[in-house]
Amino acid sequence: MDPALLRQRREFMKQAINSMGVAQQIKNDRNNQQIPASSSANTAVSKKKKKKPVQTSVGDYAGSTPEDNIQNATNFSIMAKIVDYMKKRHLNQQPWALSLKEILEEMQVYDVNRKSMLWLQEALPRNPRLQAEADNTKFIYNPPFKVKNRATLLAILKKYHADGKGGILLSDLSDCVNNAEAMAKALESQIIAIPTQINKRKDVVYFYNDPETDRQIDDDFVQQWRMAGVEHLDENKIEEYLQKHGLETARDLAPRKLAFSGPKRKQPKRAPQRLHNVHLEGVLVDYKTED
């Protein structure tokens, strides 16, 4: 073979090898540059996913960690103090509304963090003892009854009596006016006061004294009524005694509530029994002999 051709062939092969090595080096460099970029991107994404959301609503505070429990206790304590302060303002004849910031300033409470402020802004409009105004930005105290003087108290007692709702507790009345007991005492001839006990605390319940239900009863009849003892008798014996003396008894005619029973269980279907030798019913003969 011509030596010039052999020399050209060797040079061509050398150039081809060099070009392949450069291409492989460029490819490796590109791969090495892409790996850190992708890992850093994944790290950034994982950090974004692990970022804890900010609690901005009342439902977000229903956690079970000790920090959440402490935060919940602090929030409810502040709300209770706000309700008590607004009640004092109402009893002191200060009925104008205040914003949450104004309430905290008048209470001289300055250590409320941002999370508690957001929680209070959402929880205060739903408190039954507060009435929200101006798009839930200002609040006033909401008493149990709209009582301002003796006339309004008597009107409420009359309405309760007509509707069959019963009476009004002194503890609830004290949340409406400053001198509740003195106001009720001024209506002594028109109302009835009965001592009671609510949640192991002594209280008084006031009823309207309806003059139409007053009946004059002879003292002798009252004395005989109180002397008659029926502790040893049951309802059936009392009814028999009254019927024996020609008196009719009042029966409870109210519809009785039926006791709810669960849905009836469906009984499983039984498989039909297979009868044998039905087709030989008239053919079989008994060959037993009598002894």
Give the CATH number of the domain where residue 134 resides: 1.10.10.10
pTM: 0.51
Residues 63 and 128 in one domain: yes
- Asked if residue 164 and residue 121 are part of one domain, the reply reads no
Is 83's pLDDT higher than 60? yes
The pLDDT assigned to 48 comes to 52
- The CB-side HSE value for 49 (13 A sphere, CA atoms) comes to 6
pLDDT at 46: 54
Q: Is 116 left (phi over 0), alpha (psi -120 to 50) or beta?
A: alpha
Res 51: pLDDT? 53
User: pLDDT-based confidence at 13, cuts 50/70/90?
Assistant: confident
The verdict on 108 and 173 lying in the same domain is no
- Whether residues 66 and 134 share a domain: the answer is yes
Q: Could you tell me if 113 and 158 lie in one domain?
A: no
115, 141, 167 - which closes a domain: 141
Q: List, for residues 215-235, the tens digit of each pLDDT value.
A: 788 889 888 888 887 777 888
Check whether residue 197 and residue 125 sit in a common domain: no
In a domain, 11, yes or no: no
Confidence of residue 65 (pLDDT cuts 50, 70, 90): confident
Bigger pLDDT: 208 vs 31: 208
- Cβ(178)–Cβ(147) below 8 Å: no
Please tell me the least confidently modeled range out of 17-21, 31-35, 205-209, 267-271. Answer: 31-35
Looking at the structure, tell me whether residues 110 and 154 fall in a common domain.
Answer: no
d(CA 249, CA 73): 58
Is 221 domain-assigned?
no
In-domain check, residue 192: yes
Structure tokens at 205: 């319940």
Query: What's the rounded mean pLDDT across residues 14-29?
Result: 67
Closest CA to 115 of 159, 158, 182, 68: 68
Beta bridge partners of 130: 141
- By residue count, the chain amounts to 291
- Range with the poorest average pLDDT among 118-122, 215-219, 284-288: 284-288
Q: Per-residue pLDDT for 86 more than 70? A: yes
Q: Is 77 in the same domain as 102?
A: yes
Indicate whether 154 belongs to any domain.
Answer: yes
- Whether residue 193 lies inside any domain: the answer is yes
Residue 206 belongs to domain spanning? 150-213
Question: Measured on CA atoms in the order 222, 224, 227, 229, is the torsion positive or negative?
Answer: negative
Confidence label for 37 from pLDDT (cuts 50, 70 and 90): very low
Q: Do the domain assignments include residue 3? A: no
In a domain, 269, yes or no: no
